[in-house]
Amino acid sequence: MTEHKYTNKLIHEKSPYLLQHAHNPVDWHPWGPEAFELAKKANKPLLVSIGYATCHWCHVMERESFEDPEIAEYLNAHFVPIKVDREERPDVDSIYMKSVQAFGQQGGWPLNVFVTPDGVPFYGGTYYPSVGRYGLPSFLEVLTFLDKTWREEPEKVEKQSTALINYLKDVSKQEQNTEGTVDDLGFHGENKTREFYTQSYDRLHHGFLFQQQNKFPPSMGLSLLLRHHHRTGDALSLEMVENTLRAMKQGGIYDQIGGGLARYSTDHQWLVPHFEKMLYDNGLFVTALIETYQVTGKREFADYANDVLQYIDRDMTSAEGAFYSAEDADSEGVEGKFYVWTQEEIEKVLGRETASIAIPYYNVLPNGNWEGKNILHVKRPPEQIAKDLGLPLDHVEAKIAEAREKLLAVRSQRIRPLLDDKILTSWNGLMIRAMAQVGRVLDDADRIAKAEKALHFIWNNLRTPEGKLLRRWREGEARYDGYLCDYTSIALACCDLYEATYNPDYINKAEALMKTVEEKFGNQGAYYETASDAEELIVRQVSGYDGVEPSGNSSAAMALLKLAALTQNVDYERRAEKIFLAFSDEVTEYGINSSFMMQALHLYLGGCKQVAVRGVNSDKGLDAFWPLMRRRFFPNAVFAFSLDGDADAQRVPLLAGKESLQGKTTAYVCQHGSCLPPVTQVTELKNLVDDYRQVRD
């Protein structure tokens, strides 16, 4: 058993991130009243340091500063230090991130915020080096300056903290706008956002030039562009989606050997990633891929989606069927070490013949393409490699598959990066949705079963008998009250599982969750981020910002519209309208920050076609309806299905009272409380659902 010189209060936590810091010389406290009471008694400010287990720069700052006894001694003497896992406490992270940005700093992690004993920030930033560089003061210099300011100039601290709390309250009020009417809602925000994407499009390397150097996966934006293409026929929208998905899948940002998308690329070429892999990125990526397959019919995108999911099955799924959070970038203290190769290593593993194909395919160089080693990436498809080498295509494809299998086996013997094995509710919702969609579109019953298994784990382990969702599960412990995003992500996953299985139980589950949302998160417009009975922080936030995952309000709007269609309860639609009105200015003016909100708005403005299909087993026409319902891309419609004679049909209000005609599979398309005449031909159904003529511009 390893003996440690230092052990602090984090040793009793479950979070892998907090446990990483449990043996720092810093006297870390977990977030809670004890630390704030201690600060009040001692009249000390607190350092609230926020990060996550797979954050590379969090590791760097820990090694440089939090493991330094001299820095720790000063920090312990003059501050009360708190460590927070942002993934367990997104409410704390969000408030303090906005605070740092209000101070004129760029946000990011590690997030280091200095707060009063009342929890109000007065100074903050992200990474501080142990020795001044990059134009930044050293961490010890920052600590010394703030301690002096706290003791000698308390009026400055008071002025800064008062201004900050007023700012946060004003921002929250602005995001509770309820002015305007539904007549003001239209596709103008979607159109404007498409123009912004077009202006930012990187025509050489694909993706979008939103940042000076980095590129993040724009999966929610790509799904929005697919909807714009579907509505308008705009060819460039689809071209940007296809090219960007290919560039990511073939780039270094994608793990060419093991599968899975990294957090972001540190260059515009998609070559050098920050190597950590996050569950939410991969869930959203899979959704964009399978939707692109639906739109184009190009099998490559379905294959890409399955490749990601094979990685999730192998490395990111618990024995109980739920999904882990992330994999770290670092192993043995070195970023990317697990993933990179020398040419010599590849030749030794593969042998001459296979290596002669794998080396040009993966663009392996004798001296490497990054720090003397190779990040594998693809520039030429197998067809081009076969042509260039004068070899049969099937031989080249077989050798590439063989190379991948052998390299994966050898790589698996290396010391792996940390697996953050906590199970987060909202992130699981994203992957459940992705798997349900893939299973439905590809008629993959096993994939649907895996999505169901994960949902059942969440329902049985992260939900109390009273119906309250919890945020995190790890090592048998479920903890932290669920946030809006947890409830709405799982509610939306239930809606997708209904459309994959046609099991009405999932509608009931979604309704139960949204009932709790209304009771605990309700507001005059959009919903609060935290429940009415949750811990009271310095401000109760309302947000529609779609950051690394859809906001709770965006997912709420989508879930409410789907429930309105399936249950024929117009009250759900009215609640979604309040969300759209609350964020209408943001959606219209800066839509790239609201890409999922606009997907929900697209469903609403597209008429939210409610399609009820009653199938007849003996009717050969049923075989034609099935692929239309399950494989085609209809972002403006919700489908319900049952066979004639199925008693469960009466449990779905959209199906109730609708029967097949003349022994034929029959579809009913309803909208705005009325139904069009039923149809028995697939082409008629397609034309009715595709029709955008009754929508607002």
User: Which CATH number characterizes residue 390's domain?
Assistant: 1.10.10
pLDDT (average), residues 153-159: 96
Instruction: Retrieve residue 516's tokens.
Output: 């709790």
SS3 at position 548 = coil
What are the respective helix, strand and coil percentages of the chain, to the nearest 5?
Answer: 50, 15, 35
| Domain end among 546, 570, 605 | 605
> Are residue 576 and residue 628 in the same domain, yes or no?
no
Q: Mean pLDDT throughout 128-150?
A: 92
One domain, residues 68 and 150: yes
484 and 568 housed in the same domain: yes
Average pLDDT (302-313) is 98
Q: Do strands 273-278 and 326-327 pair parallel, antiparallel, or not at all (unpaired)? A: antiparallel
- Indicate which CATH number applies to the domain containing 669: 3.40.30
481 and 560 housed in the same domain: yes
The burial of 233, by beta-carbon neighbours within 10 Å (0-12 exposed, 13-18 middle, 19 or more buried), is given as: exposed
The Cβ of residue 512 has, within 10 Å, a number of other Cβ atoms equal to 16
Q: How far apart are the first and last CA of the chain?
A: 67
Instruction: Give yes or no: residues 345 and 481 share one domain.
Output: no
Q: What is the 3-state secondary structure (H, E, C) of 464-512?
A: CCCCCEEEEEECCEEEEECCHHHHHHHHHHHHHHHHHHCCCHHHHHHHH
Backbone angles phi, psi at 251, to 5 degrees: -85, 175
Specify if 107 maps to a domain.
yes
Q: Kindly state the average pLDDT of the residues 226-245.
A: 98
Q: Which domain holds residue 32?
A: 9-174
Is 527 among the domain residues?
yes
- For the cut 70, the answer to whether the pLDDT of residue 176 exceeds it is no
Give the Cα separation of 450 and 428 in Å (integer): 12
Evaluate whether residue 477 is within a structural domain: yes
pLDDT class for 170, splitting at 50, 70, 90?
confident
pLDDT confidence of residue 457: 98
Neighbours of 31 (CB within 10 A): 20
CA gyration radius, the chain? 26
* Final residue in a domain of this structure, among 605, 629, 644: 605
Asked whether residue 58 carries a pLDDT value surpassing 90, the answer given is yes
pLDDT of residue 664: 96
Q: What does the pLDDT look like over 653-679, one tens digit per residue? A: 999 999 999 999 999 999 888 899 999
pLDDT class of 180 with cuts at 50, 70, 90:
confident
Is the domain of 448 the same as that of 388? Answer: no
pLDDT of residue 696: 44
CATH of the domain at 487: 1.50.10.10
**Calpha distance 279→294 (Å, rounded):** 23
Do residue 76 and residue 15 come from a single domain? yes
Asked whether residue 695 is domain-assigned, the answer is: no
Of 10-14, 522-526, 562-566, the range with the lowest mean pLDDT is: 522-526
Peptide bond before residue 110 is cis, with ω within 30 degrees of 0:
yes
Same domain, 633 and 544: no
CATH number at residue 17: 3.40.30.10
Give how many domains the chain has, as a whole number.
Answer: 4
Please state the pTM of the whole predicted model: 0.96
Q: Is residue 3 part of a domain?
A: no
215 shares a domain with 99: no
Q: Which residue has the tokens 């609201």?
A: 594
Is there a single domain that holds both residue 404 and residue 429?
no
Instruction: Kindly state whether residues 154 and 254 are assigned to the same domain.
Output: no
Same domain flag for 75 and 163: yes
The region, left, alpha or beta by phi > 0 then psi within -120 to 50, assigned to residue 20 is alpha
